[in-house]
Chain A
């Protein structure tokens, strides 16, 4: 195989407040024709920056300060903008993380597909449109002849991701950079996209750099894996070799994250009154029912994981419990007593008992308020503490979430890392001294190591304070780690519920089975075997639709 891309001793810097800070520190990378390299690491590792640098591209405020990027004989770091434009889109293509944001909302898919071939003079508009439809078919998009005439907002996320892969293929490039292409997708949808990408890359012999933070995904896609940590290379090896025998401590720690699991708790004795009981709830936005006859109980000191894909009604159930969306039928009871349906008619004490932690700690914290004030607010509002007493309570809460009070009290959210922000969200919920906390995808925006820290903290707090958790997630690894009981939801209904041990043992409801079997595993042959087992036309959304 001949060498396609050689990146030598790459140093990249980013500017903040007039100073240049290192992002990538002297990393080498090379890629042969037709080879797929997996680039993994946590956020801040510099994966995307490295991927873009392979295209000779830097985002605003970022520069390659040293090193060489040689693509098939052309040195990209010194090439003129015009020379680079001639390569980008034509010989090197890019597939972004969020296809929904990366397709231009103002143009139809097929027009965006044809743009690169037409502008680069590769083929005519008509030819490239026809080719686009063939690619859509190869990527198993529904209605390949007409889907291109839709606008991006009319197409689902998983389909858009495949359309974007087709777009990257439009000029039959030599190299494609895939930047976390399945991170935003549900597990069942992810499988389809992974399978499509793998097929088409193989079929056209395209070389690829596959960027992801998910080890199991990279195991399916890459021939070789490179691990990055804070801009430094940790190690590189053949995928199978790396999985079987990681050399570095950091790589081993990445591998072991998925092993956190709480010991099982004894079953709740019958006759105990649950903290919160969801009783036959049907709820609607307007006239459309989004929840149908949902019932489950949450007991003191227990975690109920509510699992399902986007749109299955998990968050809507949370809205019903908090009273933000009063149910049409059914009710919510707390400690055996019925709660008023709307939060407006609940007492302050009833409101205090159920608190929430959100997925996006970024947007759930007021950027203008200091950490101390964010936590002090519920302390004062619900418990009426003032002055020194309030301050003492806030310090106590900060200690509980393992952040040093003197150091963090006056910080603004912008001065915290993602994991720290989520800890503040937890402290804010604890401040009300609730009996139950609803955790809405609290770890899905975090890296695995950080997420694990949050899960451990939540587990400790539960043991200490006897909290009941409703844990909304689409990630089954998280369920395995923390749940006592599991509720599986699909299309606004509960399809299966029970203790965790039972849920992870067959026999399953077919939908639970599909969800479980769709979670990528570290085995490099997992995807191949799964496809062989299910058949290409029966994976992902197609399989969901058949239920």
Chain B
């Protein structure tokens, strides 16, 4: 058996016996469905929740029925403006001249109630005007000289689902590729120095390059498994959880086979790159704790690119942007999810960029691993 295989097998055996690492990955895998379940519950409850409208004055005939059908409960109050601050979600004063509305924009319930009230009043106004025109013998369609027929080219519900996935999937892919193997990477590099086993390991005739590759493969495998497990649990949860009915369509989210293939490929590249980087940082560190301190900035560095999809959803970069590691993976995965297609140019540039990054990190780790200073400092 080659030294590489011997080291790989030993590292995997140690990882499988490390409760700390396994529990962390297990929690991450369980956390995603839990968070999604909570989001779906909140989303469903928001959609079906009844809000209270405090009012004074006389309600126009028929309007109260509309309020009741739209999840707005009417409650007569003395002072709607005062009541809208805390007692009710929105305050309305009906006068012969019209309606005065009072709501607190800092309260989410008031915002939702306001939207519902505005929608009802717009429909009520339109219905009254149409009825008046018909009484006078005028076709109500004169109010709408340019009627618009909307023909979505894809399901709006599915597009919303893809939009959701295009943010969460890259985010989970990147954070789990980094954190899934981080503990093992530091344990196999900085931990080796801290435990005083490094010297004995380097005393064996095993080529140091092979020793390092064995460690790298074990950590990469763990990162890959962690990322795919977290994403798998998220997709399973999404297939089981409905975010409420929208336009008669059940809002369930799923990943196409093409996007799944792209995601696995990116996960392999990211796992290898992050493993090389974290092992290099761990080799630089004298102990596990120092390794964690070195690795902490990586969390921030990786979260920024993942967030760009959230803040700039329609970001359409030139090919040069795909040279930037992590950001390129986010963009390629976003495109695969949103458009269900792969742009080969960006994917090739992204793959080359991540392979080069991983290669440079591995070279740095190997240089550090073979330096005399590594032993003298330990």
* Real binding pair: no
**Chain B contact residues, CB within 8 Å of chain A:** none
